[in-house]
Amino acid sequence: MLTVDFSRFPLAPGDRVLDLGCGAGRHAFECYRRGAQVVALDQNAEEIREVAKWFAAMKEAGEAPAGATATAMEGDALALPFPDESFDVVIISEVMEHIPDDKGVLAEMVRVLKPGGRIAVTVPRYGPEKVCWALSDAYHEVEGGHIRIYKADELLAKIRGAGLRPYGSHHAHALHSPYWWLKCAFGVDNDKALPVRAYHKLLVWDIMKKPLATRVVEQALNPLIGKSFVAYATKPHLPKAAAAEADAT
């Protein structure tokens, strides 16, 4: 299940991509399939080991085209172990709401992104997330949990403040909002409640089968209750005079 829409976020074979806070690796795997040179980074060692196994399995199965590469590694989002201007593309999906110093993370992403490069940022949407917080303290008051809820204009302002130029945004995963409302209402750790189990079954069926009916319904509902807000931006090129001055120093 992808949150980034690659029809709005073009990726070329050979692009060097950083999936920052990659989690289980869903976006990293898609970029690998598209022929990118992917680095999937996360602070969770167990998830990184699993992502590395999947990369190896994909290579063995011939799922990635010739020239594509994939590396999974542990790392700190606030101190990325890469030189300046290392990547053509950076993706950070459902991560920034967990990190106290979100401006610091944005600054690191901008540092490692090449001029003209593209960045995709996804966070939980304000409205659906507020409902979850209202229904359950356990949803967010856990170690490593969500520490803030972004309004769209607030996130876009932070992206601009980091020196990036937003060029598009949208909402995604409307069908997932009711699922999380049910989870919060019946208990975040209670997977046995009948409504939660039934809705989860529906989501799994939808993800696996991708029926036209649910695709149409979700597209119609995304502007209203989409679970995620997705923003796309570019890193501008320095004017020639400024670039020459930067090189001189």
- What's the rounded Cα separation, in Å, for the pair 194 and 26? 28
Helix, strand, coil proportions of the chain in percent (round to 5)? 45, 20, 35
Given a cut of 60, is residue 242 above it in pLDDT? no
Domain total in the chain: 1
- What's the rounded Cα separation, in Å, for the pair 43 and 59? 24
- What's the rounded Cα separation, in Å, for the pair 163 and 237? 11
With respect to residue 66, please indicate whether it lies within any of the assigned structural domains: no
Question: How many CA atoms, within 13 angstroms, populate the side-chain half-sphere of residue 26?
Answer: 10
> What integer pLDDT is reported at residue 241 of this predicted model?
47
Given a cut of 90, is residue 134 above it in pLDDT? yes
> What integer pLDDT is reported at residue 248 of this predicted model?
53
The DSSP code for 238 is P
The DSSP code for 127 is H
- Beta strands 37-42 and 16-20, pairing class: parallel
pLDDT in tens, 80-107: 999 999 999 999 999 999 999 999 999 9
Find the helix or strand (DSSP H, E) in which 92 lies.
Answer: strand 87-93
Residue at 23: amino acid letter: G
Residue with tokens 């319904």: 217
> What integer pLDDT is reported at residue 244 of this predicted model?
47
Q: How far apart are the first and last CA of the chain?
A: 45
Q: What is the share, in percent, of the chain residues with pLDDT greater than 70?
A: 96
With respect to residue 131, please indicate whether it lies within any of the assigned structural domains: yes
Question: Under the phi-then-psi rule, with left for phi > 0, alpha for psi from -120 to 50, and beta for the rest, what region is 50?
Answer: alpha
pTM value is 0.92
Domain housing 185: 76-235
Question: What does the angle CA 175 – CA 2 – CA 92 come to, to the nearest 5 degrees?
Answer: 115
- What's the rounded Cα separation, in Å, for the pair 27 and 240? 34
The candidate with the shortest Cα–Cα distance to 27, out of 46, 53, 61, 55, is 55
With respect to residue 6, please indicate whether it lies within any of the assigned structural domains: no
With respect to residue 105, please indicate whether it lies within any of the assigned structural domains: yes
The DSSP code for 34 is T
Task: Share the mean pLDDT of the chain.
Answer: 94
CA distances from 173 to 78, 108, 148 (A): 28, 28, 20
CATH of the domain at 89: 3.40.50.150
Q: Which residues pair with 100 in a beta bridge?
A: none
Phi, psi of 83 (to 5 degrees): -65, 165
Residue at 43: amino acid letter: Q
Given a cut of 70, is residue 194 above it in pLDDT? yes
Q: 122 near 49, Cβ under 8 Å?
A: no
